[in-house]
Amino acid sequence: MKFGIEFVPNMKYYELEYYVKLAEDSGFEYTWITDHYNNRNVYSMLTILALKTSKIKLGPGVTNPYHISPALTASAIATINELSNGRAVLGIGAGDKVTFDRIGISWTKPLRRMREAVEIIRALHRGKSVSYDGEIFKFNGARLDFKAGNIPIYIGAQGPKMLQLAAELGDGVLINASHPRDFEAAKENIDAGLNKAGKSRDEFDVVAYASMSVDKDATKARNASKIVVAFIVAGSPDVIFERHGISMDDVNKVREALNNAFTKGDWPGVSKAVTDEMIDCFSISGSPDEVIERIKELSKSGVTQVVAGSPIGPDKKKSIQLIGKEIIPA
């Protein structure tokens, strides 16, 4: 099993640098940096990380094909690859409708746009002159004037068609999920995409991009996961609740509690509304032994990389070290 770790660049560069170096020293193989317009620029932060680390693979987790042209994405990640001596990975997904609405980007034809962007980025990385007559992107003899190197492309995907696209075009798929049932459900679409491209499973990385919270004290770990779990619940489609047998009553209580938190500051109310089964379904939370158990189940459902996503634990530093000491070697 490979291990990755997600960081949101909502902290100063030196804090991010500290945590990523700690993760590298703790044995994590990948670090994925999220990309939303309202946080620090993903490539500026990756530049620092590329220069300050020596082993960990690094890249956006995930950027999108709306903010900037695929030519700029191809050039930016190739620059990180040069700065990091060949450790760059590109995570790209359809983007986030909520933040797009705020900056006037209309989220149309995400599948088509993702296909065209990934095809263009791959062609530019091959070093050739690229002409591409797409529905969305039109390129006429574009070319990078420096060697990109071999940069794996991972696609963020949840929906069935995007899962197929990820398997067809990507080197891996980053699935925002923490439970084996989600990966059982994704299997059919991943296999359909792999078959379409004539690829086998063992050349494809299935990544559980999970919310994780680890602590020696399991209760503390689980409590620390509640706010993140609440946001995941609030943003998940109903099909997910059916899959996990979670009542819409409980879901609506969480959505209402989040509303109250935003309007009246009642954050304790959010934690109260999150149930134990929600924590189990939407996060990997608990003691190291419990987390190891869940990772074994995920491996059986075809997962080949687990990414420790927010909150990582009640104390980020201690949890990163605990994962490195007790979970990665297990």
Ligand X SMILES: C[C@H](OP(=O)(O)OC[C@@H](O)[C@@H](O)[C@@H](O)Cn1c2nc(=O)[nH]c(=O)c-2cc2ccc(O)cc21)C(=O)N[C@@H](CCC(=O)N[C@@H](CCC(=O)O)C(=O)O)C(=O)O
Q: Is 35 in the site for ligand X (CB under 6 A)?
A: yes
Least gap, CB of 249 to ligand X (angstroms): 25
Q: Is 64 in the site for ligand X (CB under 6 A)?
A: yes
Least gap, CB of 188 to ligand X (angstroms): 13
Least gap, CB of 98 to ligand X (angstroms): 9
Distances, alpha carbon 283 to alpha carbons 51, 169, 312, in Å: 32, 28, 10
Q: Residue 97 or residue 300: which is nearer to ligand X going by CB?
A: 97
What is the distance, to the nearest Å, from the Cα of residue 6 to the centroid of all Cα atoms in its chain? 7
Q: Is 302 in the site for ligand X (CB under 6 A)?
A: no
Least gap, CB of 131 to ligand X (angstroms): 23
Q: Residue 156 or residue 324: which is nearer to ligand X going by CB?
A: 156
Q: 206 pairs with which residues across the strands? A: 173
Q: Is 108 in the site for ligand X (CB under 6 A)?
A: yes
Give the strand pairing for 305-312 and 2-7: parallel
Q: Is 36 in the site for ligand X (CB under 6 A)?
A: yes
Q: Is 94 in the site for ligand X (CB under 6 A)?
A: yes
Q: Is 224 in the site for ligand X (CB under 6 A)?
A: no
Q: Residue 95 or residue 180: which is nearer to ligand X going by CB?
A: 95
Kindly tell me which residue out of 4, 59, 65, 93 binds ligand X, with binding defined by CB under 6 A. Answer: 93
Q: What are phi and psi of 108, to 5 degrees?
A: -105, 155
CA pair distance 217, 209, nearest whole angstrom: 23
Least gap, CB of 289 to ligand X (angstroms): 27
Q: Is 306 in the site for ligand X (CB under 6 A)?
A: no
User: What type of residue is 299?
Assistant: S
> Restricting to residues 142-201, which ones interact with ligand X according to CB under 6 A?
156-162, 174-176
Q: Is 308 in the site for ligand X (CB under 6 A)?
A: no
CA pair distance 226, 242, nearest whole angstrom: 20
Are the CB atoms for 215 and 311 separated by under 8 Å? no
The radius of gyration of the chain from alpha carbons, rounded to an integer in Å, stands at: 19
Least gap, CB of 157 to ligand X (angstroms): 4
In this chain, which stretch among 32-40, 198-206, 243-251, 318-326 interacts with ligand X, using CB under 6 A?
Answer: 32-40
Local structure of 222: helix, strand or coil: helix
Local structure of 116: helix, strand or coil: helix
What is the distance, to the nearest Å, from the Cα of residue 328 to the centroid of all Cα atoms in its chain? 19
Are the CB atoms for 38 and 67 separated by under 8 Å? no
Q: Is 56 in the site for ligand X (CB under 6 A)?
A: no
For 9-159, strand residue ranges (E) read 30-33, 57-60, 90-92, 130-133, 138-142, 153-156
In this chain, which stretch among 14-22, 93-101, 193-201, 260-268 interacts with ligand X, using CB under 6 A?
Answer: 93-101
Nearest to 168 by CA among 150, 195, 206: 195
Contacts with ligand X by CB under 6 A lie at: 34-36, 61-62, 64, 93-96, 108-112, 156-162, 174-176, 209
